[in-house]
């Protein structure tokens, strides 16, 4: 049965940490933007949260719901995006198991986040699951055939590992006897078989990445059956059948927000954060306590905006006129730090007030979130089940 043309697929997830903070806002905006162009899925990585401790069910659920409220407040649209919970799809656990048989041990031992931990913790404190964390992440991505994974730069290594695992799998299981003849045969189903063949050969012979991309686009634009699409996409990549889609990290230029205390990263556990849904009175008080350029001891001392974390925030939250007004005022001692922070509070308020407004009905009726999750879980499961069925067939396990 022919499927409709394939749109690019995007997936990302976060561990359930409850209410998010302003540092998350920039990545979320990227997610919201991607809804315009791609088939998006976003999920709560509650299995991954087990690596940092097991909690009780009530707390885990509250953390997931609070995070989902923040996603919705930022503008994720449950009609356009599939929002789901990792642990509610058995397919993630099952694919994790199969991929763990494919992923070489040294790839995992080299992953920076594991290496750091392994260098400092006792061996008894390192779990098998922690080592396998990126394999589970690969399963998350691959179960939904994601092409692009928008993440912060600390996660890029994990996405690259997922791509390598998918390619290894395809290499091992996607090249049965006669696959090249099958490719030649299926090419004829494309409206422009000749162009596809030309691009595919350019990609294979000259390593022409642009040609590879265009060949894939031709395949994605056509109405094709499942197997045909896999074989032709794999062919564009110079390989066998693409049973599993190798993802690429989407290196969005996401601004990184420093902590209120001047640390490189805002984080709830460091208590240097402003909540995404926090009200003005509360965050304005936190701004008041924020350190400024230490050279400005007195109101009459000129300052250097580049040395002040408050100015760093202005760059992200204030309009350009305010930014230049503040920079000039700081350097000439024309403006005091209290006034400067008040202007910053205005800028932040302008950006977060609409989020609080959007969150309000969800916070009033949290049961509505359950309905969204149920719909998302069902939609996500339907796709993942198809991928798992392919995987079982490819590795020679009976269908479940
Ligand atoms: N490891 C990610 C984090 O800690 C969360 C995550 C789990 C994820 N699975 C994923 C992100 C799949 C993107 C895709 O932030
Ligand atoms: Fe920082 Fe603003 Fe004070 Fe300058 S005026 S030191 S930018 S808080």
CB within 8 A of 307, min separation 6: which ones? 293, 294, 295
Pocket test for ligand 1, best of 21, 28, 45 (most atoms within 8 A of CB): 45
Q: Residue 168 C-alpha to ligand 1 middle, in angstroms?
A: 21
Q: How many CA atoms lie within 13 A of 142 on its CB side?
A: 36
Pocket test for ligand 2, best of 311, 325, 346 (most atoms within 8 A of CB): 311
For residue 12, pLDDT beyond 90: yes
Question: How many Å apart are CA 97 and CA 124, to the nearest integer?
Answer: 22
Burial per residue of 273-285, b for 16 or more beta-carbon CB atoms within 10 angstroms, e otherwise: bbbbbbeeeebbe
Which of 70, 100, 63, 56 shows the shortest CA–CA distance to 85? 63
Largest Cα–Cα separation, the chain = 81
In the predicted model, what is the mean pLDDT of the chain? 95
pLDDT in tens, 307-327: 999 999 999 999 999 999 999
For residue 254, pLDDT beyond 90: no
Percentages (nearest 5) of helix, strand, coil residues in the chain: 60, 5, 35
- Cα-only R_g, the chain: 24
Ligand whose nearest atom lies closest to the CA of 322: 2
Q: Residue 304 C-alpha to ligand 1 middle, in angstroms?
A: 38
Give the ligand 2 atom nearest the CA of 327: 7
DSSP state for residue 150 in the 8-state scheme: E
* Both tokens assigned to 363: 């916070």
Strands 9-14 and 248-250, by their bridges, are unpaired
High-pLDDT (> 90) share of the chain, % = 90
Atom 6 (ligand 1): residue with closest C-alpha?
13
Give the ligand 1 atom nearest the CA of 158: 1
Residue ranges lining ligand 1, Cβ < 6 Å: 11-15, 45, 48, 137, 140-141, 149, 151, 155
Q: Residue 271 C-alpha to ligand 2 middle, in angstroms?
A: 22
The answer, yes or no, to whether any atom of ligand 2 lies below 6 A from the CB of 330, is yes
Q: Look at residue 315 in the predicted model and tell me its pLDDT.
A: 96
Give the ligand 2 atom nearest the CA of 309: 1
Average pLDDT over residues 378-382: 98
Q: Look at residue 251 in the predicted model and tell me its pLDDT.
A: 84
> What is the DSSP track for 246-314?
PPEEE---PPPPPPTTS-SS--TTTT---BTT--HHHHHHHHHT----TT--STTS---GGG-HHHHHH
Give the ligand 1 atom nearest the CA of 146: 14
Q: What is the pTM of this model?
A: 0.94
Ligand whose nearest atom lies closest to the CA of 315: 2
* Both tokens assigned to 378: 């069902």
Average pLDDT over residues 141-146: 98
Q: Which segments of 123-247 are extended strands (E)? A: 148-150
Question: How many Å apart are CA 123 and CA 74, to the nearest integer?
Answer: 41
Q: Look at residue 241 in the predicted model and tell me its pLDDT.
A: 96
Pocket test for ligand 2, best of 289, 301, 308 (most atoms within 8 A of CB): 308
Average pLDDT over residues 108-130: 94
pLDDT in tens, 331-352: 999 999 999 999 999 999 999 9
Atom 3 (ligand 2): residue with closest C-alpha?
337
- SS3 at position 45: coil
Question: How many Å apart are CA 305 and CA 145, to the nearest integer?
Answer: 46
The answer, yes or no, to whether any atom of ligand 2 lies below 6 A from the CB of 340, is yes
> What is the DSSP track for 353-369?
HHHHHHHHHHHH-THHH
Q: Look at residue 211 in the predicted model and tell me its pLDDT.
A: 93
Question: How many Å apart are CA 363 and CA 275, to the nearest integer?
Answer: 15
CA 71 to chain centre: 12
User: What's the pLDDT band for 286 if we cut at 50, 70, 90?
Assistant: very high
pLDDT in tens, 216-246: 999 999 999 999 999 999 999 888 999 999 9
Q: Look at residue 389 in the predicted model and tell me its pLDDT.
A: 98
Ligand whose nearest atom lies closest to the CA of 24: 1
User: What's the pLDDT band for 209 if we cut at 50, 70, 90?
Assistant: confident
Ligand whose nearest atom lies closest to the CA of 44: 1
Helix (H), strand (E) at residue 203: helix 193-206
């Amino acid at each position: 049965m022919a499927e409709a043309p394939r749109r690019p697929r995007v997936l990302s997830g976060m561990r359930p940490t409850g209410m998010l903070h302003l540092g998350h806002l920039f990545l979320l905006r990227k997610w919201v933007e991607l809804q315009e162009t791609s088939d998006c899925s976003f999920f709560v990585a509650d299995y991954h949260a087990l690596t940092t401790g097991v909690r009780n069910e009530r707390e885990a659920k509250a953390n997931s719901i609070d995070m989902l409220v923040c996603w919705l407040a930022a503008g994720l649209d449950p009609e356009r995006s599939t929002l789901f919970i990792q642990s509610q799809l058995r397919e993630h656990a099952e694919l994790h198991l199969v991929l763990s048989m494919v992923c070489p041990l040294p790839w995992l031992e080299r992953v920076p986040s594991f290496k750091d931990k392994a260098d400092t913790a006792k061996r008894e404190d390192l779990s098998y699951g922690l080592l396998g964390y990126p394999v589970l992440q690969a399963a998350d991505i691959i179960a939904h055939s994601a092409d692009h994974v928008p993440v912060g730069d600390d996660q890029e290594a994990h996405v690259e590992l997922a791509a390598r695992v998918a390619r290894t799998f395809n290499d091992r299981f996607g090249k049965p006897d006669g696959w090249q003849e099958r490719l030649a045969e299926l090419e004829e189903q494309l409206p422009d078989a000749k162009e596809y063949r030309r691009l595919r050969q350019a990609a294979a012979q000259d390593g022409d990445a642009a040609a590879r991309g265009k060949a894939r686009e031709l395949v994605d634009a056509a109405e094709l059956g499942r197997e045909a699409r896999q074989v032709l996409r794999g062919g564009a990549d110079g390989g066998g059948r693409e049973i599993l889609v190798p993802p690429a990290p989407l290196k969005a230029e996401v601004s990184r927000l420093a902590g209120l205390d001047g640390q490189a990263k805002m984080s709830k556990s460091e208590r240097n954060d402003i909540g995404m849904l926090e009200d003005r009175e509360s965050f304005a008080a936190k701004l008041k306590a924020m350190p400024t350029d230490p050279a400005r001891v007195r109101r009459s001392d000129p300052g250097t905006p580049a040395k002040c974390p408050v100015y760093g925030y202005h760059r992200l939250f204030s309009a350009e006129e305010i930014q230049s007004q503040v920079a000039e005022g700081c350097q000439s001692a024309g403006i005091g730090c209290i006034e400067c922070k008040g202007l910053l509070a205005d800028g932040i308020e302008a950006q977060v007030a609409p989020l609080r407004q959007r969150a309000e009905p969800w916070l009033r009726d949290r049961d509505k979130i359950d309905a969204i999750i149920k719909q998302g879980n069902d939609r996500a499961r339907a796709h993942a089940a198809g991928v798992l069925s392919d995987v079982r067939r490819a590795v020679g396990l009976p269908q479940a």
